[in-house]
Structure formats: C-alpha cells, structure tokens
C-alpha cells in the first residue's frame, strides 16, 4: 500500500479524501485495487466490492493493516440486489457515501467483430460493463444525495473514443454506453452537487488486457499506437481517479478524462 494514512500537521488523519467514504467496484484487482489503497492512504473509508471476495478482503487487510478503515464485500455488479445491498451496507458502516467508483469490467475472450461475437458474449459484456454502471448509479446516487453531494467516477476506456482494428465489439459498445450515460447523468445531477465523470484509461499492464494480448507480438502491435511507447500502470489511473474523487476537481463534471499515454491524441507516433 502506498504508505500510511496521510496525516495533517497536527497529527489528525488528513489527506485529499479525509472524511469521505468511497465505494469501489472491481476492487480486488488492477485499477480498483490500486484506487482502494490510494483512496484509503488519502484518508477515505473504503468499501472494496468485487465478485472476488478473497481479493477484496486482501485489499482491505492491507488497508486496515496500515491503519486505514475499509470493508470488503462480495457483489456482482450485474445483479441489482447485490449492488443495492452493498451500497446499503456501505452507508450503514460509514454513515455516508461521497465517492462512487463504478469500475468493474470484463473483456471477454470471445469478443470479436460483428460476425464472430456471439449473443451470449454481447449480453454478458453489456450486463457487467454497462448495466453494472447503471445499477451502481441507480443505488449510489441517492446515497450521495443523502450525503449532500459527491463524485461518481465511471470507468470507460479509450475505445469509447477511437476505434481499433483488433475488434472487441461488445466491449467497445459497452464503454461507449458508459461514456454517453456519464455525460447525461452529469447534466441531470449537476445542481445537486453530484459530479459524474468518465475515466478513459489507455492500454494498461493489468490482468484484463495482458490476458487478451497474450503474446509479445500482440503487445508490441498495440504499443505502436501509444506515443509514450509503454503500457500504463493501474496506479497511474488510480491517481487520476483520486483527483476526480477529491474536491480538487470541484468544477469538473461530464468529462471523458483520458489517461492514455497520448494514444487518443496521436495520428502518427514517434519511431
Ligand atoms: P482487472 O481484471 O485487473 O480488474 C477487474 C476487476 O473487476 C476484477 O477484480 C474482477 O473480479 C472484477 N469484476 C469482474 N466482473 C465483475 C462483476 N460482475 N461484479 C463485480 N466485480 C467484477 O481489470 P482492470 O484493468 O483493473 O479494469 C478495470 C476497469 O478498467 C474495467 O472497467 C476495464 O474495462 C477498464 N479499462 C481497462 C483497461 C486496461 O487496459 N486494463 C483499459 C481501459 C479501461
């Protein structure tokens, strides 16, 4: 974990998320895991939510071992009762909700182009990546409202902004949906003090992408398109999420916040 909980100069718990309670899905791995650790280190109380309960518990153990406060919960974001129960348990444990990070997502190995992608793969991808974000908002936004406002961060992707010749049609469509839904929610809730932003990571060196790009050749093919010439790290996305979660981004809503090594800015990349 990135250090002990931040302290203010008088020794009381501080940090950029001091006093806030955060709900993070997909917290057992990758972006969610790094964000849970970072948010906690910055003073947030964290609900670490994942289908992988053992993974979330491990993150929580790291947080509490370093003096932070966190709870682990098992929930499938595609099942509405799971999400509703987890949000209610978070409010019960922390007395409030300030940050809703809808981050869980999958990239199915059977996801391909329009002809190859099977309906079951399409439906599963949509139910987790898109409907899961809706369920998070459906139950999380009322909780934010009860706390007087807050920040929603929905993990989309660079594929919501640009197309790829290596197709994952269901994944791409789901992330486009997350981005469009985010914009509309931002407008709807702007005057309630609820900010809603989409995070658009570039290709990352996490389990999700590395198991899809499963040969060195495929990885190098992808890196050609990244001006920085490397995959991003989950911790680099967590830093962006931290800013969106904190009051430092108080005038930011409805954005597609790209953290992608320059990918979406590039026409031709350096040799
Ligand atoms: P990851 O595979 O490391 O972590 C995803 C986590 O989500 C896992 O812990 C998994 O158990 C959990 N999860 C999966 N289905 C779930 C469900 N139905 N309910 C609850 N939890 C579930 O992946 P990551 O790279 O950290 O991805 C996090 C988010 O970032 C995803 O939405 C992904 O689409 C997005 N993203 C990733 C990349 C990348 O290159 N890795 C790029 C852009 C966007």
The per-residue pLDDT for range 77-104, each reduced to its tens digit, is 999 999 999 999 999 999 999 999 999 9
Close Cβ partners of 270 (under 8 Å, ≥ 6 residues apart): 227, 229
144 lines ligand 1 (CB under 6 A): no
Instruction: Please state the domain count of the chain.
Output: 1
Domain contains 46? yes
78 lines ligand 1 (CB under 6 A): yes
Domain contains 109? yes
**Which residue is associated with the tokens 């002809």?**
115
CATH number, domain containing residue 212:
3.40.50.720
Domain contains 156? yes
Task: State residue 7 phi and psi, 5-degree precision.
Answer: -120, 145
CA 128 to ligand 1 center in whole angstroms: 10
User: Do 48 and 24 contact (CB within 8 A), yes or no?
Assistant: yes
Residue 231: predicted pLDDT = 97
Question: pLDDT at residue 145 above 60?
Answer: yes
Domain contains 8? no
Q: What is the arithmetic mean of pLDDT over 23-29?
A: 98
CA pair distance 165, 173, nearest whole angstrom: 14
End-to-end CA gap in the chain:
36
User: Do 20 and 245 contact (CB within 8 A), yes or no?
Assistant: yes
Domain contains 5? no
Q: Which alpha helices (DSSP H) does the chain contain, by range?
A: 30-41, 53-65, 80-94, 119-125, 132-146, 169-189, 207-210, 216-223, 234-245
Residue 9: predicted pLDDT = 46
Q: What is the arithmetic mean of pLDDT over 64-68?
A: 98
- Does the annotation mark 251 as catalytic? no
Residue 2: predicted pLDDT = 44
> Other CB atoms closer than 10 Å to residue 224's CB: what's the count?
8
pLDDT band at 208 (very low <50, low <70, confident <90, very high): confident
The per-residue pLDDT for range 157-202, each reduced to its tens digit, is 999 999 988 899 999 999 999 999 999 999 999 999 999 999 999 9
Tell me the residue range of the domain where 132 lies.
21-258
Close Cβ partners of 187 (under 8 Å, ≥ 6 residues apart): 254
């Amino acid at each position: 974990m990135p250090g002990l909980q931040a302290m203010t100069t008088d020794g009381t718990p501080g940090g950029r998320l001091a006093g806030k309670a955060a709900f993070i899905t997909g917290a057992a791995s990758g972006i969610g895991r790094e964000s849970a650790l970072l948010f906690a280190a910055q003073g947030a109380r964290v609900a670490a939510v994942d289908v992988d309960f053992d993974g979330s518990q491990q993150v929580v153990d790291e947080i509490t071992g370093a003096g932070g406060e966190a709870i682990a919960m098992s929930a499938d974001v595609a099942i509405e009762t799971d999400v509703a129960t987890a949000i209610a348990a978070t409010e019960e444990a922390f007395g409030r909700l300030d940050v809703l990070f809808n981050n869980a997502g999958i990239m199915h190995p059977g996801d391909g182009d329009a002809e190859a992608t099977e309906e079951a793969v399409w439906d599963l991808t949509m139910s987790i990546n898109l409907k899961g974000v809706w369920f998070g908002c459906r139950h999380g936004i009322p909780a934010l409202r009860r706390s007087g406002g807050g920040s929603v961060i929905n993990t989309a992707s660079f594929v919501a902004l640009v197309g790829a010749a290596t197709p994952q049609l269901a994944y791409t469509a789901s992330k486009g949906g997350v981005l469009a839904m985010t914009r509309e929610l931002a407008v709807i809730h702007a005057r309630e003090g609820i900010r809603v932003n989409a995070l658009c990571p570039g290709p990352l060196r996490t389990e999700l992408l590395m198991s899809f790009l499963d040969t060195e050749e495929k990885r190098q093919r992808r890196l050609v398109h990244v001006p920085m010439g490397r995959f991003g790290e989950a911790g680099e996305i967590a830093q962006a999420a931290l800013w969106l979660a904190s009051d430092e981004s108080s005038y930011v809503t409805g954005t597609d916040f790209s953290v992608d090594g320059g990918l979406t800015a590039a026409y031709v990349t350096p040799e």
